[in-house]
Chains A and B, each alone.
Chain A
């Protein structure tokens, strides 16, 4: 009971500090080294990319729901109807499976369709055509039938739209041979990758993010040019660092950069890798970085099981970078739950990287340890970076628990309740624990938690 009370107290002060769209709005990221004074939103970048490619190639056309007269549900296709006419900017009925199949057919027969899904949640209706009709046909036909098509639309969680409209499909499409999948973050990414996707002779899935559409970025003169193109399959090191590697894609890149800035104040140099491409995955860039920093955290908005982070973990395990790790790789992901509607619950369903990182500081670089396999599992001086895995429960504590012998539970995680609740405004709580605490609303008001109140029984 004591521990429950303590948990509830923890929950009361653990107001989520996830960056909201509003929190994002005032800041703008400098995407290129050179400062040119050009500014562009993600929406404009996508629009410009399509505009330029449609000018360049008459076989490129856009179809989807509300793309023409309505100017796009999210205004990404704004103005294209006026520029290119109804033959090339086609409003479809609400018929995802039908128009995705139709777009694939058009691609097989000589056109280069850009097939917009109002969101990728609706593309589940059409996923057979993305996977079976588009991705596999080239192989099945022994190279005789090409499918040059782009499937694009907002992916991942928006805000306050509940479970059916909040899901990240990077892992879904990232698994399919024959597809290329990009998940751009900045305006530069969006312009360069969208243009690359349209020019690609094979099917490409472009996973945009609704929350990012209005985000303003500084871009270089080069990005403004109509021949600016980025290679699909190459990640970008957004910020160099020596102490820890954070790999993220889409919106999480911005979060990672924010956190990196915070940690910089404490002298921790985070290297932030913007994945850009989900498939092919630029594992070489990650390996190179891990060999330098010896620590790796992945961040994404998708569900944890079989996530992009999971794949990165596996590939690191299979690479020689494994021997360079000073700590297990950690994944920061969306929670393993259908996305809730209520604001407070939704906030707990997605990465709150800044809190996680701040709690676990400082983590020091310890290269000596990397060559002592025993220390990998021995707890003791090990410090961990992530927000939720079991190994973290060993951080800074010696415990009788053997790794993997039991599921973590609040009672068994020594530091699941911060010891100094009163003065620390941003304590870190595992979301599952907060969840549990929130459900106990009918319990009596909590007594102030004493340090170690939630310690092992």
Chain B
């Protein structure tokens, strides 16, 4: 569905043959012709000369195509946002993009090892959700996790240090790119789909402990086909858990397009008996509004909800994937130029004169300075102490007497208790 949209919208000549019936593709295109448009519909737009006050509300109207519903809704298409809120979201998205850019450079400089999955292009999902939820709500996601880790409170330095396997990393250098954690952020999980029932379990704990909080359990369009996702749906609905299952649909599970992997790409309907909502995940305001809606839905005792955030990653699946063998460069270019979440928000802000271009540029610059400083700091962090090899396997004080190293004489003896 997604792929067809922008293919037709961009240079069709370069598009690869559609894997499925192009008739069906065309039909889905007609159904949501403006799905990816982030252009706000001007509604009583105020064009004041002076920049807006920090807490002044601005009203925007989403196009109908921003949302689709399954057994719930609709969400109001009119949305209010203050200058502060918008600038926060802008800043967060810019920070994530800078962070990912820095990661990309460090990877290419061979300072980051192994797998590294960047979320460039998908920033609106993390930033919009972050703007919608409470500090003690939980998020769990898969391995494309740097942005969430940052917004949930880990410092950019600790993330970069983790990526480089340093002592000051948020997992003390033991987790790497895929295993980052923060306050009520449960990673950072490397097994596709496994985080979804874990997320349902976090929600079970929240309900059990009467915390009044909820969990976003996130997964990609690839993981959406894992059996355990459906097992989690079933239990969450059965027990009315405060869980929102969020399918971050970037249209490619690694190099396999959603159409080639899913019998139904309407991921928001795949909870069947669980209500669902599809969101334009390239529009941070839409993500925020939908996340608020889902959060309130599940906290009001109505049980779980499925969200599908339709988004797009500009880079490959991971650093080893140029990302161009299974999709065209034109497709990527088209998404960047017409649907970029940062540009979209920027246009909105400027159009309403909520902030000046200079203010935004300063934010861009500040983000760059902040991340550059974090890179420098992270590089300066030493590798973990070799003693760390044997720590954190069990709770301190709860270890076995010893654990073996590679040879018997490398056996590590824990202090006698």
Binary B-proximity of A71-111 (CB < 8 A = 1, otherwise 0): 00000000000000001001011010111111111111111
Question: Once the chains bind, are A101 and B204 in contact (CB under 8 Å)?
Answer: no
Instruction: Say yes or no: A110-B393 contact (C-beta < 8 A), given A93-B234, A102-B198, A102-B201.
Output: no
Is the contact region of chain B dominated by helix, strand, or loop, or is it mixed? loop
Question: Once the chains bind, are B205 and A109 in contact (CB under 8 Å)?
Answer: yes
Instruction: Identify the closest chain A residue to B205 (Cβ).
Output: A109
- The answer for the CA separation of A124 and B395 in the assembled complex, in Å, is 26
Question: Once the chains bind, are A143 and B392 in contact (CB under 8 Å)?
Answer: yes
Binary A-proximity of B125-165 (CB < 8 A = 1, otherwise 0): 00000000000001010000000000000000000000000
| Chain A neighbourhood of B227, CB < 8 A | 97
The yes or no answer to B92 lying at the interface (CB within 8 A) is no
Question: Once the chains bind, are B204 and A95 in contact (CB under 8 Å)?
Answer: no
| Chain B neighbourhood of A279, CB < 8 A | 400
| Chain B neighbourhood of A110, CB < 8 A | 205, 209
- The answer for the CA separation of A284 and B234 in the assembled complex, in Å, is 47
- Distance of B356 from chain A, by nearest CB (Å): 41
Question: Once the chains bind, are A200 and B398 in contact (CB under 8 Å)?
Answer: yes
The yes or no answer to B52 lying at the interface (CB within 8 A) is no
| Chain B neighbourhood of A380, CB < 8 A | none
- The answer for the CA separation of A138 and B391 in the assembled complex, in Å, is 10
- The answer for the CA separation of A279 and B408 in the assembled complex, in Å, is 17
Among B24-32, B187-195, B260-268, the one that faces the other chain is B187-195
Binary B-proximity of A136-162 (CB < 8 A = 1, otherwise 0): 011111111110000000000000000
- Distance of A127 from chain B, by nearest CB (Å): 11
Binary A-proximity of B171-198 (CB < 8 A = 1, otherwise 0): 1111100010100001111110010111
- Distance of B243 from chain A, by nearest CB (Å): 10
For A, the interface residue count at a CB cutoff of 8 angstroms equals 48
- The answer for the CA separation of A245 and B170 in the assembled complex, in Å, is 48
The yes or no answer to B357 lying at the interface (CB within 8 A) is no
Q: Which bracket fits the contact residues of B?
A: 35 or more
Instruction: Say yes or no: A138-B395 contact (C-beta < 8 A), given A102-B204, A280-B400.
Output: yes
Q: Which among B188, B191, B201 is the interface contact of A109 at CB below 8 angstroms?
A: B201
Question: Once the chains bind, are A98 and B187 in contact (CB under 8 Å)?
Answer: no
Q: Which among B173, B201, B396 is the interface contact of A103 at CB below 8 angstroms?
A: B201
| Chain A neighbourhood of B395, CB < 8 A | 138, 146, 201-202
| Chain A neighbourhood of B403, CB < 8 A | 177
- The answer for the CA separation of A103 and B235 in the assembled complex, in Å, is 12
Is the contact region of chain A dominated by helix, strand, or loop, or is it mixed? mixed
The yes or no answer to B199 lying at the interface (CB within 8 A) is yes
- The answer for the CA separation of A113 and B203 in the assembled complex, in Å, is 14
Question: Once the chains bind, are A142 and B398 in contact (CB under 8 Å)?
Answer: no
Instruction: Identify the closest chain B residue to A96 (Cβ).
Output: B231
Question: Once the chains bind, are A102 and B197 in contact (CB under 8 Å)?
Answer: yes
| Chain A neighbourhood of B205, CB < 8 A | 105-106, 108-111
Question: Once the chains bind, are B202 and A109 in contact (CB under 8 Å)?
Answer: yes
Question: Once the chains bind, are A140 and B234 in contact (CB under 8 Å)?
Answer: no
Instruction: Identify the closest chain A residue to B388 (Cβ).
Output: A142
Question: Once the chains bind, are B174 and A111 in contact (CB under 8 Å)?
Answer: no
The yes or no answer to B394 lying at the interface (CB within 8 A) is yes
Question: Once the chains bind, are A133 and B209 in contact (CB under 8 Å)?
Answer: no
A99-B231, A106-B208, A145-B187 given. 13 additional CB < 8 A pairs? Answer: A59-B208, A92-B235, A95-B231, A100-B197, A101-B197, A105-B198, A110-B209, A129-B198, A140-B171, A142-B172, A142-B174, A178-B393, A200-B398
A sample of 8 inter-chain contacts (CB < 8 A) reads A61-B208, A105-B202, A109-B186, A132-B191, A138-B393, A138-B395, A140-B174, A141-B188
